Amino acid sequence: MPNQRRLLYITDQDEYMDHSFIAPLFEIYLKKYLHIDIVYFTEFKSDFEHKDLYHFIVPSRYKNALLDELNRNNVDMQSYDYVMVRNNIEILEQVLRDRETYGYKALFRFSYPKRSIKISCAEAENKTDLLAPVVHHFKTASETNIINQCDAFLPTSRAMHKAFRPDVNITTILCPPAINPRLLYENEQHTEDEKRFVYVGTLDALREFETVLDAFSQLESKKWKLLISTRDTSYAEEMLENYPHIKDQIEICNAQTKEAMLELIAKSDIGVALLPAIPIYTTSTSVKIFDYYASAVPCLMANAEHTATIFTNRVDAWFCNFSKEDICKEIEYLITLSKHEVMKVGEKGQQRLLDIRNYETIAKTIAQKIETL
């Protein structure tokens, strides 16, 4: 399209990381409306690389002079109508400094609160730095002043905006995770007489997965199995040593690829997305929930205000509070449901996401709002 406006998206991610959020939204759906080039960084290469027509791989050492490095490699900054920076304030400052020179609009994508997560993790591991919250307060104020110089702010959700960047007051365009309507998978119904639960994701002190295991350990029924797919397999194995009487009903694996992970989910009955009720988890929807529903696998998730804006309890998902008593009670209920009843909840949840939270419609909305700036 000859008159398509051009956007340069500067990620904060390495080229070899999982780009399951960036790829569908920015590389497929938004490209219907905007010409998009994407910058990734690398610790493993010494030279700039045009990976293909739309991808630029930049050695991390050039982050402090990124726009100069792009120019040196024949990336015409003046050709862009918009430059979007993901999470990195230092790069954003460079983009703002040169905005008038090149004539683009500056956008800031806030996908997750890195520093807040780091502080919460330290507290969960009893490594609290008393100065960290004070430093965080002043850094947040300084960063807010920088973000407010942009032409638009793209947080993951309104709740995340309110909780972590409440004083950002510029034009806001929501950029949430969503389901990819082109990548739906058939839910393979296993024949065993058990409810097969699946948890995919990180395990650490902050996520308090012991609470979930405590709930499973109190179940009266034995007609269940829990599949855990995580990179932290040694952490998981160590955790399971405290649950010898249910250890045989839990399988730990590490799905190395997105395809392997989705295959594991598709063979399960119910996805587990239970996280503590703290702002870094309650202000956005876990990307794994969308992975579950891509296979129409319904999800047991923590009861949170943000979650309730998308799903309805016992219609297209199941909610419970993050306590072993509530989790145990809800799992006991889920075990009593027939396969058909579980499937219906999964199908309704998938359709709900296709109706209100799919990348195709989100991309159209984002593009329309960007082009009005």
Q: CA-CA distance, 120 to 273, in Å (whole number)?
A: 19
61's CB contacts (< 8 A; 6+ apart) are none
Tens-digit pLDDT profile for residues 313-372: 999 999 999 999 999 999 999 999 999 999 999 999 999 999 999 999 999 999 999 999
Q: What is the pLDDT of residue 22?
A: 65
CA distance 313 to 279: 21
The answer to whether the beta carbons of residues 360 and 29 sit under 8 Å apart is yes
Give the pLDDT confidence score for residue 133 in this predicted structure. 77
pLDDT reading at 18 higher than 80? no
Q: What pLDDT band is residue 20 in, cutting at 50, 70 and 90?
A: low
Which range is most confident: 111-120, 127-136, 360-369? Answer: 360-369
Contact at 8 Å (CB) between 275 and 322?
yes
Q: 116: exposed, middle or buried (C-beta count within 10 Å: 0-12, 13-18, 19+)?
A: middle
Sorted by sequence, the CB contacts under 8 Å of residue 238 that are 6+ apart come out as none
Q: Greater confidence, 226 or 18?
A: 226
**Contact predicate 282/133, CB 8 Å:** no
Q: Do 164 and 122 touch, CB atoms closer than 8 A?
A: no
With residues binned 3-state (H G I as helix, E B as strand, rest as coil), the percentages for the chain, rounded to 5, are 45, 20, 40
Query: What does pTM read for this prediction?
Result: 0.90
- Strand 55-59 and strand 49-50: pairing? antiparallel
Q: Render pLDDT for 288-309 as a digit per residue (tens, 0 to 9).
A: 999 999 999 999 999 887 888 8
Could you tell me where the DSSP H helices lie in 9-113?
22, 66-72, 89-97, 99-102
- CA-closest candidate to residue 122, choices 106, 108, 136: 136
Classify strands 224-229 and 250-253 as parallel, antiparallel or unpaired. Answer: parallel
State how far the Cα of 295 lies from the Cα of 311, in Å rounded to an integer.
16
**Tokens of residue 240, six digits:** 């399971």
Assigned token pair, 213: 């295991």
Give the mean pLDDT of 202-224: 94
Question: Is the confidence at residue 268, as pLDDT, over 80?
Answer: yes
